[in-house]
Amino acid sequence: MLSPHELDGRWSLDRPYLNTASYGLPPAPAFAALQEALAEWREGRTSWEGWTESVARARESFARLVGARPEDVAAGATVSELVGLVAASLPDGAEVLVPDVEFTSNLFPWLAQQHRGVRVRTAALSDLADAVDSSTSLVALSAVQSSNGDVADLASIREAADASRALVFVDATQACGWLPLRAADFDFVVAHTYKWLMSPRGAALMAVRPERLDALVPIHAGWWSAENPLGDYYGPPLRLARTARRLDTSPAWFSWVGTAPTIELVEQIGVERIHEHDVELANRFRAGMGLEPANSAIVSVDVDAAERLEAAGIRAAVRAGGLRVSFHLYNTGAHVDAALDALRAAG
């Protein structure tokens, strides 16, 4: 497990926070960088260009984290928007296969293309690999399910998709930051950074397999997507960046200012070690609830006791009818035990 010494005072929780699956808590250096940028903004102390350097830093750091090249990473504001971009680029009549309880940011954008014959088929996550067939154009799924923390068998799904020449789109929002992932194994890997990458909302990144880039329509193109965005603002012709930056949306400056130092810190600590730490805490919680160990940082239990946790000052969430608790690097064994005590008190 990570020791408080290794976290070096970057987080100071005065109560257990078990809800990273909803939003993660910023490390001190990122929070300080954001305050500094806000103060600059308030007094007009700088021009804005410096804030955009955070987009490049976040793109590079995310690329290293998932083993991609920065030039193959697009930066947007939400997952739904980046899913929508890929959805808008599918051929008419394409079939998309999605797990049946998938989070809607990775479902509605595909469904929204129905007007031009794009079809969405669903199957249980455990049956997804078997459900891929020759009619499947793309399989879209979360690496880790938001509703209950189930970790997808990505290797089998990739294999089944390869056999049917289907693309694989992975939403790693509930995974990136604690579950090791290799972008090269998939066609698209997207993650919003405000959960396990502990950043402000409004910074999402997507690694695109280089061969897929040219098939994507840059539907969000604007000044920021230009080859030279800091000095070329007016008039035709269309002159987009040659890299995946042409798929970007113009950056929400302050979100990125808080995001870059946080992803860099995750890199520095190491996803493998965070994985070990988070899953160990989750399994300590599972054991306390009489459950077998599993491989996820998110645990969903069928108890109606969220209010008791709340009363004990412990933040968790209710999703798909279950109590969802999630464990990240700033949590400790004492936080797990406090939650178990509160739940036992709930009888």
Sheet holding 322-326, edge to edge: 298-301, 322-326, 317-319
| Interface pick for ligand PLP out of 167, 168, 204, 342 (rule CB under 6 A) | 204
Q: Does 80 bind ligand PLP (CB under 6 A)?
A: yes
Q: Does 103 bind ligand PLP (CB under 6 A)?
A: yes
- For residue 298, give the DSSP letter: E
Minimum Å gap between C-beta 103 and ligand PLP is: 4
Q: Which is nearer to ligand PLP, 208 or 343 (CB)?
A: 208
Q: 219-226 — which CB contacts under 8 Å span 24+ positions?
A: 219/84, 219/85, 219/88, 220/76, 220/81, 220/85, 220/247, 220/248, 220/249, 221/246, 222/249, 222/250, 223/250, 224/248, 224/249, 224/250, 224/251
| Interface pick for ligand PLP out of 19, 61, 105, 137 (rule CB under 6 A) | 105
Q: Which is nearer to ligand PLP, 278 or 343 (CB)?
A: 278
Contact segment (CB under 6 A) with ligand PLP among 50-58, 72-80, 121-129, 277-285 equals: 72-80
Q: What CA–CA distances, in Å, run from 142 to 79, 103, 105, 172?
A: 11, 8, 10, 6
Rounded Cα distance, 200 and 204, in Å: 10
Rounded Cα distance, 62 and 191, in Å: 9
Q: Does 249 bind ligand PLP (CB under 6 A)?
A: no
Q: Does 79 bind ligand PLP (CB under 6 A)?
A: yes
Q: Which is nearer to ligand PLP, 323 or 338 (CB)?
A: 323
Contact segment (CB under 6 A) with ligand PLP among 100-108, 112-120, 247-255, 275-283 equals: 100-108
User: Is the separation of the CB atoms in 116 and 139 below 8 Å?
Assistant: no
Q: Does 173 bind ligand PLP (CB under 6 A)?
A: yes
Q: Does 19 bind ligand PLP (CB under 6 A)?
A: no
Contact segment (CB under 6 A) with ligand PLP among 152-160, 167-175, 232-240, 318-326 equals: 167-175
Q: Does 142 bind ligand PLP (CB under 6 A)?
A: yes
Q: Does 113 bind ligand PLP (CB under 6 A)?
A: no
Q: Which is nearer to ligand PLP, 169 or 308 (CB)?
A: 169
Q: Does 78 bind ligand PLP (CB under 6 A)?
A: yes
| Interface pick for ligand PLP out of 192, 220, 319, 335 (rule CB under 6 A) | 192
User: Is the separation of the CB atoms in 99 and 124 below 8 Å?
Assistant: yes
Rounded Cα distance, 201 and 193, in Å: 7
Rounded Cα distance, 226 and 249, in Å: 11
Q: Does 140 bind ligand PLP (CB under 6 A)?
A: no
Which residues are 97's β-sheet partners? 121, 139
Q: What CA–CA distances, in Å, run from 196 to 144, 243, 282?
A: 12, 26, 15
Q: Which is nearer to ligand PLP, 103 or 186 (CB)?
A: 103
Q: Which is nearer to ligand PLP, 62 or 103 (CB)?
A: 103
Q: Is 93 exposed, middle or buried (0-12, 13-18, 19+ CB in 10 A)?
A: exposed
Q: Which residues contact 128 (CB under 8 A, 6 or more apart)?
A: 97, 99, 139, 141, 152, 157, 160
Q: Does 193 bind ligand PLP (CB under 6 A)?
A: no
Contact segment (CB under 6 A) with ligand PLP among 46-54, 169-177, 259-267, 329-337 equals: 169-177
Q: Does 171 bind ligand PLP (CB under 6 A)?
A: yes
Going by C-alpha positions, the residue among 104, 287, 279, 81 that lies closest to residue 180 is 279
Q: Does 174 bind ligand PLP (CB under 6 A)?
A: yes
Q: Which is nearer to ligand PLP, 179 or 226 (CB)?
A: 179
**Contacts to ligand PLP by CB under 6 A:** 78-80, 103, 105-106, 142, 146, 171, 173-174, 192, 204
